[in-house]
A and B are shown apart, each in its own frame.
Chain A
């Protein structure tokens, strides 16, 4: 009798190791087939790494000079890229553009991550609570979602900037205060169908407390939409921060911000010193395109149903 003839061998489903290997392969294959996700992921990863470098630059006093050091020495200001010791040239105040751009990317990404996290937490909590408890709780939360959803963020930002001092907190507050509604709506929808799933009913029938049901059965099953929506919100926040700063409502000088840098550089465009605008501008566009592409790719892989929801 050969080893194959052991009937028990055939009666077993695949072992966890086998399926995990299999899943890893399937996942990699999916990723490989989905070029979008791969390219977007690559670009995003590069920017995240640059962003970390940027935060380091801002964080350490020793590097401070790199992006704040102003020399009004006319020999150093508005130096074109690749002409001197500053690889990407200098701005109108003689500051190193590479260092400022790297720091600006750091600020953008840090803000984007924090704000996205806040948005997701708000949406997740309110969405699951509405779906799980239903009844009047759901009615109230749904009404708030409806009112909030689609409200122009810029309007809220302008209103808030009137109340508070202009500054970055305006950005922080207005974005999640509006964006959570879209995510909460998705979470609520998923939650409503989860609530009717038999495994949730089974947990309720066994008397498992509500918070445990939400933590064990709801949250893990909401990870896919969370990741997808998260990668959507990051570029939205980046663009928004850029736009606000460009308008002078967001990040205040001398903190480096890509939008602000572009705004400051505008007056030099006419003189032909375009790099002051193009270096931060192109970085911003590339970063946004990268995250957006990653978001689209992840959506196709993780949760095709979210197509067109946003």
Chain B
């Protein structure tokens, strides 16, 4: 892809949740959900965040559109600071960035009809009644739903159709940037491919930029231009899709890729990197590499310092003290086949 200018720049974003409080209500324990995360998304590309459950993916997405306040860090959208903008200005920014949630069953109000749900997305555009109706129909058509669906309630739709409605609601505002938080995780494979194709077509037609959040590596590999890997609140590796899947540098990424179950019969599998040890608790994590407790390449330094994110190669960042390319028996070579 030719170098496009950045649309979203995230710098050192952090978020902690208070977990325990003393009798005066002051927090004594913190859960570190997102820790000093930085990345850039270019115009028109799909940037994916992958990571296991609870690593902070959803929190990261919600911090970006200020659905939750961040502790530190900044977000620039098209050059404008999201966090310091006024309430009014934030409204305008939010119209340009939209969020699609993971669960199409809980993200639609069960007591509203599809038409009303979708037209809620046009809220910022200040349209008249008739225009709003037209816009609602237009976006429903974009996601492949006949306009008769506007009169239905969410429980009268299948899972894939509900996710289409959620996408239509986001598109109604005419955004440039979509944060897709696990948009296909709740769907069956046969439906998942319908929605992934739809997302791809919409991106082409409307020149959208995606932040795609997922734990499914096969899906991420399919849809992304660039990929960031998260582990316990930290972004541990960022690279182009093919570079990341073909030449992972961080030991966690290597282990993750080697563990993907692949459509192959038993016996035909390459060696898997097995991770021993328990994951670190995200509550009051010590100053060390958060992956060290499960890492197969940990050295002394990993237990006493936080590895900084460094450029390892052009366009390829990783945060690790003991970077090494994947050996033949694991990760990379197989991923390149």
Contact = CB atoms under 8 A, between A and B. Distances in A.
Q: State if A and B touch, Cβ cutoff 8 Å.
A: yes
Interface of A: 13-16, 19, 197-199, 201-208, 216-217, 220-221
A199 B102 CA distance: 11
A16 B152 CA distance: 6
Contact of B107 (A16, A202, A207): A202
Contacts of B116: 216
A15 B108 CA distance: 18
Contact of B120 (A15, A208, A220): A208
Contacts of B108: 199
Contacts of A16: 151-153, 156
Contacts, number: 68
A217 B123 CA distance: 15
B14 interface: no
B112 A206 contact: no
Nearest to B99: A205
Nearest to B166: A202
A198 B103 contact: yes
Given A13-B157, A14-B156, A205-B99, A197 B123 contact: no
Given A205-B99, A217-B109, 10 more contacts: A19-B155, A197-B106, A198-B107, A201-B62, A202-B169, A203-B120, A206-B120, A208-B123, A220-B112, A221-B109
- Select the residue from B62, B111, B153, B161 with max chain A CB neighbours within 10 A: B111
Nearest to A196: B106
21 contacts: A13-B156, A13-B157, A13-B161, A19-B155, A198-B106, A199-B108, A201-B99, A201-B101, A202-B107, A202-B169, A204-B67, A205-B99, A206-B94, A206-B95, A206-B98, A206-B121, A206-B124, A216-B116, A216-B120, A220-B109, A221-B109
B34 interface: no
- Select the residue from A13, A19, A205 with max chain B CB neighbours within 10 A: A205
Interface string B82-107: 00000000110011001101110011
Contacts of B152: 16
3 tightest Cβ-Cβ pairs between the two chains A and B: A198-B107, A220-B111, A198-B101
Contacts of A208: 120, 123
Nearest to B155: A19
B257 interface: no
B274 interface: no
A199 B94 contact: no
B67 A199 contact: no
B204 to A, nearest CB: 24
